[in-house]
Amino acid sequence: MRRMKLLFAVLSVVMLLGVAVPAAFAQDDQPLLPLDHPVASFLESRAVAAKLGATAEFRKMEWVAYDDVNKKLYMSMTEIGKGMTDGKGDIQLEENPCGIVYTADVDATNNISNLKPLIIGGPFDKEAKGDKCDPNNVANPDSVFTDTKGRLWIGEDTSYHVNNVLWMWDGTKLNRFATLPLGAEVTGFFAAKDGTVFLNVQHPSGSNLYPYNRGVVGVVNGFKATDAFKPMETPKGQDQRRVMTAAGQYQVLSRVGMTIPNDIHAQRFGQVNDLNGKLLAICNHPDGNMWLPTADDGSEGNLFSNYECQPGAVSRLYIRNNGKTWDVLEGENVDFSGVNGTWNNCGAIVSPWNTGMTGEEYEPFATQADWKKNVAPMTAYLGKQANPYDYGYIVEVSPDPNGDTAGAVVQKHYAMGRFSHEMNVVLPDNKTAYFGDDGTNTVMFKFVADEAGDMSAGTLYAAKVTQKPDQSFDLQWIKLGSGNDDEIADAIANFELPK
């Protein structure tokens, strides 16, 4: 998600392991896994897609959202550049550093066949000292979400606005609802069915006013996502160093580095330990939220929140509304040891069957030359050589429905493909999912499950695009392969890594 930011951010007392993220997918890189391997479609999804003719030219494909009111899909792209503007291949657009939001009509079979521009960022002024993108227009759109009225909410991840903005698009214009403190990205926006708005502050400047000098997870009280509001102006002075909203009051639910209430392990928010219990990191990057209510009226439940570091993390809070604000009753950091840890937990969504889905962004490239370096943080986490093919997936999380453990249960969905999973969205058929694939020279993917409500088996597709004169793209879906989590996990476990 972050533009030109470190993937690790920590409290000053903690020494961390870091790893460089490859800037782009290079089709001539030699992968560890041969592309004719039976499960290559799921472990080298982008490379196989390109080999079969899919378009591998997209730049910074971020979140996707589904609007059930108008039957539309939305996709944000941080910028139009690199492979989209080099004059080669299927996509040939003019550069736009301020980004764009695309939309597509979803047909009766849950398919999309054309992606067209909806909100175009800019104009861009590289000489401007403050806002290099128009302050009254979107800059570097990242997270997108639709409320129950079908209105589109857009969070920014930009250095081209002084303060990142949370916008609401009402179908005709952008309305500024919130601004974040200096240096902070808009993350974690989630509009619950009852209208409750969750919102996080990622990697804020340490010069901000307390508590916004560290990352926070929060909620807006006294406002519902479908309420009318008067758009706010850009903040001035000290207001640039705190969260500002056009309506309601922002409440901090958790803050990086603080002790998790009633956690049986007495851990802190953002804490990442290795498998021996040694502290590796305090991650200052709270990202996507997954709200799983337990009460029918939405007044209490589990809030899962991503932490975008390597290794990655997800916290769980059990919260209850007291009529005015929210009480935090207990929490934990989710245990991912059963799946060899998780990586760069970025965007998130809640499935139609009320489980969380967290995306592992910037998959560690499994290339012959540098695969060990790319996966070094996970080697430190495991205490043994990590396998890069263990990371880069959608991971499903939820409280244990059987009560066999006091913590959350997790499942990595290898069948949904391995690439830079910003996040995914599942359509109302409970089978079809679309993804953001962040990075450079990336691919648009679609997954169709074999059975509704079960993402563990299905078919993966990639898009071949044809650019139209109106700058939209016709989409032809190429089948990459069919598989299931168990057989792919078995192939990973039995794959012999080079010495």
Over residues 143-184, the pLDDT tens digits come to: 999 999 999 999 999 999 999 999 999 999 999 999 999 999
Over residues 39-61, the pLDDT tens digits come to: 999 999 999 999 999 999 999 99
Is the pLDDT at 21 greater than 80, yes or no? no
| Single-letter amino acid code for the residue at 379 | T
Predicted local distance difference test score (pLDDT) of residue 3: 41
- Give yes or no for a cis peptide into 135 (omega within 30° of 0): no
Is the pLDDT at 68 greater than 50, yes or no? yes
Do β-strands 141-146 and 152-156 pair in parallel, antiparallel, or remain unpaired?
antiparallel
Over residues 112-141, the pLDDT tens digits come to: 999 999 999 999 999 999 999 999 999 999
Q: Where are the alpha helices (DSSP H) in 277-406?
A: 371-374, 376-382
1 confidence band (pLDDT: 50, 70, 90): low
Q: pTM, whole model, 2 decimals? A: 0.95
For residue 161, the Cα-to-chain-centroid distance in whole angstroms is: 21
494 confidence band (pLDDT: 50, 70, 90): very high
Over residues 378-431, the pLDDT tens digits come to: 999 999 999 999 999 999 999 999 999 889 999 999 999 999 999 999 999 999
Over residues 70-104, the pLDDT tens digits come to: 999 999 999 999 999 999 999 999 999 999 999 99
Q: Tell me if residue 358 falls in helix, strand or coil.
A: strand
| Single-letter amino acid code for the residue at 131 | D
Is the pLDDT at 493 greater than 50, yes or no? yes
**How many residues are present in the chain?**
499
Is the pLDDT at 486 greater than 60, yes or no? yes
Q: How far apart are the first and last CA of the chain?
A: 33
